[in-house]
Amino acid sequence: MSTTGRLVVIVLFEGVDLLDVTGPPEVFSLARREAGDVATYEVVLAAASLEPVTTAAGVRILPDVTFDQAAGRSIETLIVPGSVEADGEQRVRAVVDPGLVERVKALAVRTRRVASVCVGAHLLAAAGLLDGKRATTHWSTAHQLAAEHPEIEVDADPIFIREGDVWTGAGISACLDLSLALIADDLGEEIALRVARQLVMYVKRQSGQSQFSVPLEQISATRRIEDLRHHILRTLGSRLTVADLAAYAHVSDRHLTRLFKTELGMTPYAYIESVRVEKARHELESSDATLERVAAVCGFGTVDTLVRAFRRRLNATPTEYRSRFRTRRDVVRPARPARAARAD
């Protein structure tokens, strides 16, 4: 381990999610390998004591320093992972220990930038570090974060969000994307892309990319909305209006809007657009279809409408998105049989 350079401190505590802790060090290590002396990162794990810490996965990790020792140094980046607990009905809640919150608050004072991984955002929020800011977290606890901290603008869609020197990342594997973004901030996009290739990540995902697919969100509470969601998926390429959906569900337009806002947290129009964008993303990633074809299949009608929806939701045009996330497929063609020799 290097003893000089940019000091990255990762908070360690009982029950912490394992990948949240082990993912970032691997990324910073590869940055050192790719950039040499330019990337002098020193990554240390800090805990209340030097005793082994048991993660949520049951794997025990040894801290490098105590919180008190870390607080005595000038920290470049403080990374705060999280932990969750589930009740008997498998409903997940972020765990927020008041003592740990105070430790995070004290370390943040010594830090140039602070980043949370997954539900670690709840610890930053409790420490007052997200007040008045836009932030993300794992989608499963986003409602909890918004309910407990109305002063924060919670956006559960992006894989990470930067607000000045405070960064918040979404769930689990997004810790790699967040770490790559921190490296890009320090060393530039080229180094970050080289590290992404070493991680066998096709590209370094941008912050605007959604952390989950709309059709895979949590199931609606009522059968009526769930039926409507399946109806939308089946008829996505056709013209879908609030009146059409209300007629299908045998309710008034106003009642339909109220149902969507209550159960899905958005209007029917916003939900339809989100599903269309998700389908368009899949088409752009996996096919060579023209933008006109993608717009028609996904129900946008025109390319202009498709472009506006992508800019609004992903901060990128469909062409930009395809260039970043297109899955390359190597086509293996059978060898042509050799021509028989002509008899003269």
pTM for the whole structure = 0.64
User: Residue 109 has which token pair?
Assistant: 């004072």
Q: Is the pLDDT of residue 309 over 70?
A: yes
User: Residue 278 has which token pair?
Assistant: 């998700």
β-bridge mates for residue 169, sequence order: 160
Contacts of 206 (CB under 8 A, 6+ apart): 315, 316, 324
Q: Is the pLDDT of residue 65 over 60?
A: yes
Residue 341: pLDDT band with limits 50, 70, 90: very low
User: Residue 272 has which token pair?
Assistant: 């339809």
Q: Is the pLDDT of residue 224 over 80?
A: no
Give start and end residues of each alpha helix (H) in the chain: 18-35, 67-71, 98-109, 121-126, 142-148, 174-187, 189-198, 223-234, 242-249, 253-264, 268-286, 291-297, 303-314, 318-325
Query: Of the candidates 43, 48, 51, 57, which has an alpha carbon nearest to the alpha carbon of residue 15?
Result: 57
Residue 207: pLDDT band with limits 50, 70, 90: very low
Whole-number Å distance between alpha carbons of 256 and 248? 10
Amino acid symbol at 55: T
Q: Which long-range contacts (CB under 8 A, 24 or more apart) does 267-270 make?
A: 268/242, 269/242
Q: Are 46 and 22 in contact (CB under 8 A)?
A: no
Q: What is the pLDDT of residues 121-148, one digit of tens each?
A: 999 999 999 999 999 999 889 999 999 9
DSSP 158: B
User: Residue 273 has which token pair?
Assistant: 């657009």
Sheet with strand 166-169: strands edge to edge: 65-66, 41-47, 6-11, 75-80, 111-116, 166-169, 160-163
CA distances from 340 to 336, 337, 343, 344 (A): 12, 9, 9, 12
Q: Are 163 and 194 in contact (CB under 8 A)?
A: no
First to last CA, the chain: 74
Q: What is the pLDDT of residues 146-166, one digit of tens each?
A: 999 999 999 887 788 999 999
Query: Of the candidates 26, 94, 84, which has an alpha carbon nearest to the alpha carbon of residue 55?
Result: 84
Q: Is the pLDDT of residue 205 over 70?
A: no
Q: Is the pLDDT of residue 176 over 50?
A: yes
Considering Cα of 193, then 196, then 200, then 201, what sign does the dihedral take?
negative
Q: Are 121 and 130 in contact (CB under 8 A)?
A: yes
> Which residue is associated with the tokens 């020799």?
341
User: Residue 256 has which token pair?
Assistant: 């339909």
Between 101 and 177, where is the model more confident?
A: 101
**Kind of pairing between the strands at 166-169 and 111-116:** parallel
Q: What is the pLDDT of residues 106-124, one digit of tens each?
A: 999 999 999 999 999 999 9
Mean pLDDT computed over 24-42? 86
Q: Is the pLDDT of residue 212 over 70?
A: no
pLDDT at 64: 97
